[in-house]
Structure 1
């Protein structure tokens, strides 16, 4: 076969059909090198490169990629994107970013709740709650709740769905309704629907305890916790009338749940009873005193439970919780809890505050301290004044930011210096 033409010396440096520059063109041009070096140094040292803005831009770019991944074909991939997005929003308060993308996020959550697998539905319901924490009382957050409520409610009441998915949807319904601050009439309807879920743990007609699996017990506890969270929004003065009208479960029915075989259900029932008595005593000092006599005996048994067939950790947790509940029912005393954040402290001296704080802790985890400082909705819930958080950035965080800023500037200067020296080095060799 004929071989191609050998390359000559002049063709050996040919790139894309063009020759390299001639010796005259490669001769160093002092004016050009000085101007380019000056402009590069000015762009690095002008002080306009804020490390915090740079990190924020990087985070938003990464979150945008995750949002694109919510519409991928893989169910496991969508689930991972839901979880990653929730973790990012828990750690960082960025409502303006979420507000600009609420339609896309709401559409992805709705599709996953309708057609996704069990893990995907749980992750989508969790993300819906975190988004409402970010948006707070913004009307956009209320629109998200209004769009997702029918789907979440249908899944929570669907007997063919898994117990884990139903429990997660019950929690999401309670949390979102609480955060959006909806109408009390709508909340009462939702509470009745939640009661239809945890009523499966009521005692049977013959007084026996229903036999439920741990998964079903966890679902009943989730529905009861969501019901109790919405109960904290009821204004004192209506408790007795609502119970008499059977819009709320009776104390007999709630106390039946104390006989459950599952620790989560018993503890949720005890906290619900404490909330009912706390708000009931605000409207009437002698609220259900006759019933309290019999209830105290049951609470004493739970506060001193030593049955060996229960796990040691469960017995310890149960005794600690019911000792506080018993102290409140007997002496109307709530053990004070003090939460420290940003050189300030939040005092939880009522069962209402404790329930609301526990619900937010289950959503935000350790990052709740950051939201206590920045999130206007959470500050409004716990009535935290602006003066209490005027020093928003602690000293250690300021030092860390300064070190990060110096590191970024030094890296930029080093890169510019390396590029400049490389250019000049090549020109000196040609010369």
Structure 2
């Protein structure tokens, strides 16, 4: 069985084309597969075939050809997203971690970006136990180095920022030092978007708004793990400066900032019932929620108004924005496979307080799964924060 502890969150030589599409046609081991002659495969045989293909992909991570390595990473990305492979990966975690570290250190920008995504998926697959923490110890330094490297590919830095946030969230729950370091590296990225001493926002360079958004989202995810004493400091440092960034010229960064503000306000109220967001902030959010500026693209205005209406609603009604940030982080890493993991991955079910993994008949309709996903948002009891903070607040407070 997969090693999954409660202490965190109670958490070939084939052508490159063949490799890149390998896992989109892998047999699903929980259903009946067939051989090339149309004969049914039993579950064990299907599992063995899947594992053989996985082993070949892992071997290809060490290939001299960058094209082959990249194809292998993309195949692993699809496999890790669409099925649970904890037992298989636990036995090979160090080999995979070493291969991913090599791709991050020596690969080009595209390979680095793909490797970072697989890093995050690997941590989610391994769960919040010792195996995941072990892998994070290997990968955190190189992920952090790329995040803060101004000469690295923007796409690689962006992917590494997201991966650093997720890996730390899953794997470093009881290590305050790793949390502090990871948050500091992420802060060093998005704070370059803050206004200068004259109150003027810097002109963003090409690609940087996306990088800033990824770093900010990853940072916000880690903020949810901080003890109350640290949260108070973070609110004092960042809330007003983030408010100024609501005037950013990039719509997606404005949205990321607004979502982060909603999270910080919620956390502020959580640690201090008398915490109040400023009237100026609410007026600013209302302006963005009704923005009709003709200088902005119509689709940008529509997207912005939709998001900021929701942000404003959460702030005015004391909603649960943290629940959304955590869910969105996992959805970004797992993509369309997030529904599968919400059903069967013990880590995610534990984080969201959904009980033991579901055992569903393969004939269940997609609409049933959609209702399950909806249940995640509508659940009144979001247990992850309470569980986590009760267990680790004292340990973290000493470090932070």
Q: Is the TM value for this pair above 0.5?
A: yes
Moved more, 113-122 or 198-207: 198-207
Contact map agreement 1:217 1:262 (CA 8 A) in 2 = yes
Q: Which residue of 2 aligns with 1:283?
A: 271
Which of residues 216, 230, 238 is equivalent to 2:208? 216
Which of residues 223, 226, 239 is equivalent to 2:218? 226
Q: Is structure 2 residue 187 aligned with structure 1 residue 187?
A: no
Q: Is structure 2 residue 130 aligned with structure 1 residue 139?
A: yes
Query: Given the superposition, is the C-alpha separation of residues 237 and 324 from structure 1 closer, same or farther in structure 2, using an over 3 Å criterion?
Result: farther
Q: Which residue of 2 aligns with 1:315?
A: 301
Deviation, 1:185, is 4.3
Written as runs of structure 1 = structure 2, the 5 A alignment for 1:67-82 is 67-82=58-73
Which of residues 297, 302, 314 is equivalent to 1:328? 314
Contact map agreement 2:81 2:336 (CA 8 A) in 1 = no
How many residues get paired?
Answer: 325
**1:326-372 deviation per Cα after TM superposition (whole angstroms, max 9, x unaligned):** 1222332x3xxxxxxxxxxxxxxx21111111111111122111111
> TM-score, with normalisation over the residues of structure 2?
0.77
Q: Is structure 2 residue 290 aligned with structure 1 residue 304?
A: yes
Deviation, 1:193, is 2.0
Written as runs of structure 1 = structure 2, the 5 A alignment for 1:59-208 is 59-182=50-173, 183-208=175-200
Contact map agreement 1:302 1:318 (CA 8 A) in 2 = yes
Q: Which residue of 1 aligns with 2:31?
A: none
Deviation, 1:394, is 4.3
Query: Given the superposition, is the C-alpha separation of residues 279 and 157 from structure 1 closer, same or farther in structure 2, using an over 3 Å criterion?
Result: same
**1:89-143 deviation per Cα after TM superposition (whole angstroms, max 9, x unaligned):** 1111010111111121111111111111110111111111111110001211101
Tell me the distance in 1 between the aligned counterparts of 2:172 and 2:202.
Answer: 35
Query: Given the superposition, is the C-alpha separation of residues 186 and 286 from structure 1 closer, same or farther in structure 2, using an over 3 Å criterion?
Result: same
Query: Given the superposition, is the C-alpha separation of residues 213 and 100 from structure 1 closer, same or farther in structure 2, using an over 3 Å criterion?
Result: same
SS of residue in 2 equivalent to 1:100: helix
Written as runs of structure 1 = structure 2, the 5 A alignment for 1:257-276 is 257-276=245-264
Larger radius of gyration: 1
Contact map agreement 2:235 2:268 (CA 8 A) in 1 = no
Tell me the distance in 2 between the aligned counterparts of 1:390 and 1:72.
Answer: 38
Deviation, 1:64, is 1.0
Gaps of 5+ in 1: 1-48, 335-349, 398-431
**1:367-398 deviation per Cα after TM superposition (whole angstroms, max 9, x unaligned):** 11111121110011001113xx554224348x
Deviation, 1:322, is 0.6
Q: Is structure 2 residue 342 aligned with structure 1 residue 372?
A: yes
Moved more, 173-182 or 302-311: 302-311
Contact map agreement 1:149 1:173 (CA 8 A) in 2 = yes
SS of residue in 1 equivalent to 2:275: coil
Q: Which residue of 1 aligns with 2:25?
A: none
Q: Which runs of 4+ in 1 moved over 6 A?
A: none
**1:270-310 deviation per Cα after TM superposition (whole angstroms, max 9, x unaligned):** 11111111111122222144xx2010111011101122332
Q: Which residue of 2 aligns with 1:395?
A: 363
Q: Which residue of 2 aligns with 1:355?
A: 325
Contact map agreement 2:157 2:211 (CA 8 A) in 1 = yes
Cα RMSD between the aligned structures?
Answer: 1.8
Tell me the distance in 2 between the aligned counterparts of 1:93 and 1:390.
Answer: 13
Tell me the distance in 1 between the aligned counterparts of 2:140 and 2:108.
Answer: 19
